[in-house]
Chain A
Amino acid sequence: MTCLRENLKGADLLIGYLEGTLSAEERAELDQHASACADCRGLLAAQEMLGDDEVPEVSADFDARLYARLQQEQQQQWWRRLLWRPAVPLAAAAALLAVTLWVRPVAPPQADEPKSASVDRAEIEQLEQALDDVELLMPVNKTPEVL
């Protein structure tokens, strides 16, 4: 057997060896090779060499913190769901419009005379003013042909 690093099936053999899935024959052959090859012996023992790495205990309040976050998230989702319902923004817009129309001040009536009469008088005054302006622009010694 060639060294695992130079063997095309090196990865298969190593993982099979470590996971105990090699046949008895393959395992014996590999063990025999490793007894004479320091590199392969080291490779087969590499996993074992890592030892039992101790890790800290999980904090006692881990679950409590998790459930608090879950609860907080559920509450936020409830509000989000409520706000994202299509009917809610529409209803809010309709209510806002109704309130705006209701509170908008109504313009007081202008004058006692009828509206059409006041408009006519304004137009006459504007026309008279325009004629006066044209007259002022004319030369003094010249009579306007138009007039």
Chain B
Amino acid sequence: MLRVREGDETSFAILLDRHRAPVVHFLYRMVRNQAVSEELAQEVFLRVYRSRASYQPTAKFTTWLFRIATHLALNWIRDGRKEKNQQSLDVVLEDGEGSVLERQVADGSLTVEQEMCNEVRMREVRVAIEALPDKQRAAVVLHKYEGLGYTQISKVLECSESATKSLLFRAYETLRVRLAHLA
């Protein structure tokens, strides 16, 4: 990022290549809509580019990046745009994630029944995560799927480390109760 700040366009391309997928995937897990997640990810990288001149390496670059992404995702959710754009789970399964299902079935390593069970299970997990309060959802997605530790999550969410631990604890406890039947 420091090289980007100096005007090195190649470094921006490297940065984009390195962080594109994690940012889009994080946003997808937050908003559950591919088009919206990519739109928000574009905004993340636009903001990074716009802020390059004033960038100060006070925190890890990924912390800053996920902070922007989290703000955008939470704002999008709060703005209620979710209701307008989100498709029903059935439609998602047919249109978007149906391809994932087809890919998994096609590889032949698991039976169709097993794959169907996995898909139903994952749907329940997604619904349970989606039902969490916004900040808890962001914390769990960052912790579980993006592999961030609680220290970094606290910086992304701009709250104390103890508050972050408490946030994660409450989220995992809620998920445990909601998904008890899957255990």
Q: Which residues of A contact B (CB under 8 A)?
A: 4-5, 10-12, 14-15, 18-19, 39, 42-43, 45-47, 49-51, 53-56, 58-59, 62-63, 65-66, 69-70, 73
CB distance from B106 to the nearest CB of A (A): 14
Give B24-81 interface residues, CB cut-off 8 Å to A: 24-25, 28-29, 34, 38, 41-42, 45-46, 49-50
Known: A42-B180, A55-B28. A49 touches B175 (CB 8 A): yes
Residue of A14, A50, A51, A58 with highest tally of chain B CB at under 10 A: A50
- Is B38 in contact with A62, judged by CB distance below 8 angstroms? yes
CB neighbours (8 Å) of B172 from chain A are 14, 43, 46-47
CB distance from A1 to the nearest CB of B (A): 16
- Is A70 in contact with B183, judged by CB distance below 8 angstroms? no
Contact residue among B16, B145, B162, B180 (Cβ-Cβ distance under 8 Å from A63)? B16
- Is A51 in contact with B16, judged by CB distance below 8 angstroms? no
CB neighbours (8 Å) of A45 from chain B are 176, 183
- Is B150 in contact with A15, judged by CB distance below 8 angstroms? yes
- Is B42 in contact with A65, judged by CB distance below 8 angstroms? yes
CB neighbours (8 Å) of A39 from chain B are 176
Chain B contact residue count (CB 8 A cutoff): 45
CB neighbours (8 Å) of A11 from chain B are 162, 165-166, 168-169
Q: Is the interface of B mostly helix, strand, loop or mixed?
A: helix
Q: Bound complex: CA of A42 vs CA of B25, how far in Å?
A: 27
The yes or no answer to B7 lying at the interface (CB within 8 A) is no
Residue of A14, A43, A47, A66 with highest tally of chain B CB at under 10 A: A66
Contact residue among A42, A53, A59, A70 (Cβ-Cβ distance under 8 Å from B38)? A59
CB distance from A45 to the nearest CB of B (A): 7
Residue of B nearest to A61 (CB): B38
Q: List 12 A-B contacts (CB under 8 A).
A: A10-B169, A11-B168, A12-B165, A43-B173, A45-B183, A46-B173, A50-B140, A50-B144, A53-B145, A54-B122, A55-B24, A58-B38
- Is B175 in contact with A50, judged by CB distance below 8 angstroms? yes
CB distance from B112 to the nearest CB of A (A): 17
CB neighbours (8 Å) of B143 from chain A are 18, 47
- Is B176 in contact with A42, judged by CB distance below 8 angstroms? yes
- Is A66 in contact with B16, judged by CB distance below 8 angstroms? yes
Type the 1/0 row for B97-134, where 1 means its CB is closer than 8 Å to any CB of A. 10110001000000000000010011001100100000
CB neighbours (8 Å) of B182 from chain A are 49
